[in-house]
Amino acid sequence: MSNIDYIIHLCFDISEQGKTPSVALIRNLSQRTLAIPEVIKGLQNWKSSSGGRPPLTNPQLNTRSTTEQTLQQRVSKLEAQVATLMQQLANLSDKN
* pLDDT over 50 at 59, yes or no: no
Report, as an integer, the average pLDDT of 72-94.
Answer: 89
For residue 85, the model assigns a pLDDT of 92
* pLDDT over 80 at 56, yes or no: no
CA distance 10 to 2: 12
Statement to judge: residues 50 and 79 lie in one domain: no
Statement to judge: residues 51 and 69 lie in one domain: no
Statement to judge: residues 5 and 49 lie in one domain: yes
Global confidence as pTM = 0.54
Statement to judge: residues 67 and 53 lie in one domain: no
User: Which residues 6+ apart lie within 8 Å of 11 measured at CB?
Assistant: 21, 26, 42, 43, 46
4-54 confidence digits (pLDDT tens): 889 999 998 898 899 999 999 999 999 989 999 999 999 999 998 766 776
* pLDDT over 70 at 57, yes or no: no
Statement to judge: residues 8 and 47 lie in one domain: yes
Report the number of distinct structural domains present in the chain. Answer: 2
Print the domain residue range for 70.
62-96
